[in-house]
Amino acid sequence: MTARFVLFALAAFPLVSARSSFLQQTGTSTWVIGNDIWNITQGPIYGTKLYYQDKDAIGEAAGHYVGADGENNLVWKSASIVNEGDNFIDVGFVSDQGDFHWVIYDDLAGSYQYFVNRALGDVSILRSLFRLDPGRFPNGRTYLKDEPLPSFQAIKDATKVQDETFETANGTYITKYDWSNYVRERDFNGVYGPSTGSWYIHPSTDYFSGDHLKQTLTVHRESSTGDAVQLNVVQDTSHFQTQVTTTQPDGKIWGPWLWYLNDGSASDAASKYQEELSKWPYPWVNDTAYHSRGSVTGSLKLSDGRVAAGAAVFLGDSDIKAPLAQGVNYYYTTHTDASGKFSFASVRTGQYGLYAWSNGGKISDVYTNYTKSGVEVKDDLDLSTLIWSVPSNKRIFQIGNFDKRTTGFVNNGPYQHGLAAASPANFTFTVGTSTSADWYYASSNLGTWDIVFNTPALEKQNARLIVSLAGYSQSTSLTISSNDVVLGSLNKNNVTTDAAAYRSGTVSGEWHQFEYVIGNLKEGKNVISFTVDRYVLWRGFLWDAIALEWA
């Protein structure tokens, strides 16, 4: 007898439908859902007893649940079939904050899932997740990592040094943040073993908060129990940026995404990902606004005549604010092609703002952003050619590419805890001899980094120093000077903090840019200095780029 029929024998209520996919209530706040391939028992909070391949895939682990902002896990009050077709049912679980849906096809190993907001209010994080049998799912896979999860014993033997971060006897670190990645660069994430795999596949990312630089957690080993954790964080304005909350509108939908089960094959999951891309937007979603979509096309040209090739383009909130902090509506990301053209397909209709910035490459010298408000998407919108204003001042030197990341610097990527401490305390960069590849991704330790350069002639009285940061974690402090004259300081009083530097983020946190007028350059040798005069372990400044130009 299969596990499904054992569960049927325990049922206290009749089946809603005789088809393969089913919802069965077994108590006042207990339900069983699934099909002939799998089924799970859902309680008021946790989904347990996940039967697949005739075995329980959860075992002693916590199971499946949904939560907002920490361990504020949702409590399910009722469940019903809210929509169905010839070969699927849509089961909605109702809580005070919103409804979580499982769309179960008769022949699918897994289920589509989505969440509809009712009363979440102001939140920074919304997630669903599976905590699964660690013996059956020993490995984790993201587009950046595919390897065994750290062992539970190794975590227990290590010393906790900060939030979910443990130092082993040999000085290495174990942390769930090493498994983070950028949400719009993902294909599929999951945990797997020799015979079973459990995966999250997102064919669209329009319901994720933020822009290209949005990053969050994926999979890890639960440090308190050893569970294999498969995370699905769909709203995050906290982990790798300045923490903000956003007020969620009634009826907002996160998803649908696919939770997919297989025999542990990553190549099969990759094929399934490609298949889901071709199906999206899903026709079975019973929501008129979901199906109301248009497109946006256009091109970007710099005011100096160049095409904005390879620029990052973001379609976000219509009220202009930092793209990374946006998390109320739906968001779309792309890059311009070699001729500066961009396009967005299947955009939900509504009001948007358009944002663009350099992503390096041919326009790596551009440090300004492009913004345009009042972009109304109804059907197919052609914005034609948009002119992006850029300064034309003569550049004296530049270190790094303006792309809001630590691209090209020493220790830039991948995610790894504690790398900021490996940067030198004192360092000299000589323009004309040193290259950007010599610069370090982070300044953290007490000391001074000097940029030494020559100006054969003073072409203008003043110069402009552009300091672009890819992130900042307090309470490190940095003083900037030109030929021993202080230009200003960067610290917790004038730079908002993010957690990237101490949570394994070596590429970006929250972007900041500052400009300083320099009036004391001289013919011959000049020195611009960056002095860290307040130190906090693993905190500091992530560098994007530094440029000096005549003002």
Which range (80-89, 213-222, 312-321, 503-512) has the least confidence? Answer: 312-321
Determine the residue type at 415: Y
> Residue 217 carries which side chain, given as an amino acid letter?
L
- For 352, other C-beta atoms within 10 Å of its C-beta total 26
Percentage, residues of the chain above pLDDT 90: 95
* pLDDT surpassing 90 at residue 70: no
What pLDDT digit, counting tens, does each position of 19-47 carry?
899 999 999 999 999 999 999 999 999 99
Token pair in block for residue 435: 């290259």
Average pLDDT, the chain: 95
**Whole-Å CA distances, 165 to 171, 175, 265:** 12, 4, 30
Q: What pLDDT, on a 0 to 100 scale, did the predictor assign at position 22?
A: 98
Per-residue pLDDT band for 372 (boundaries 50, 70, 90) equals very high
pLDDT of residue 321: 78
pLDDT for the residue numbered 26: 97
Instruction: State the pLDDT confidence band at 202, using cuts at 50, 70 and 90.
Output: very high
Task: Give the model's pLDDT for residue 8.
Answer: 37
**Buried-state track 7-26, b at ≥16 Cβ within 10 A, e below 16:** bbeeeeeeebeebbbbbbbb
Asked if residue 353 has pLDDT above 70, the reply is: yes
Greatest alpha-carbon span in the chain:
90
Kindly indicate the confidence band of residue 243, based on its pLDDT and cuts at 50, 70 and 90.
Answer: confident
In this predicted model, what pLDDT tens digit does every residue of 123-143 receive, in sequence order?
999 999 999 999 999 999 999
User: Can you read off the two tokens belonging to residue 452?
Assistant: 């030494």
**Rounded-to-integer distance, Cα 464 and Cα 380, Å:** 42
**6: pLDDT confidence band, cut at 50, 70 and 90?**
very low
Q: Average pLDDT for residues 448-468, to the nearest whole number? A: 97
What local confidence, expressed as pLDDT, does residue 3 receive?
Answer: 37
Nearest residue to 519 via CA among 445, 463, 443: 463
On the CB side of 311, how many CA atoms lie within 13 Å of its CA? 31
Domains located in the chain, CATH noted: 3-290 (2.70.98.10), 292-388 (2.60.40.10), 395-550 (2.60.120.260)
pLDDT higher than threshold 50 for residue 11? no
What pLDDT score does 424 carry?
98
Higher pLDDT, 453 or 5: 453
Which pLDDT belongs to residue 12? 34
Q: What is the mean pLDDT of residues 267-285?
A: 98
Burial degree of 76 (CB within 10 A; 0-12, 13-18, 19+):
buried
**Residues 181-209: what's their mean pLDDT?**
97
Q: How is 197-224 classified by DSSP, letter by letter?
A: EEEEE-S--TTS-S-TT-EE--EEE-TT
Cα 257 to Cα 285: distance, rounded to the nearest angstrom: 12
Q: What average pLDDT does range 57-66 have in this prediction?
A: 98
Residue found by looking up tokens 């202080």 in the block: 486
The pLDDT value recorded for residue 18 is 59
Closest to 516 (Cα-Cα) out of 541, 479, 544, 543:
479
Structure tokens at 530: 């960056």
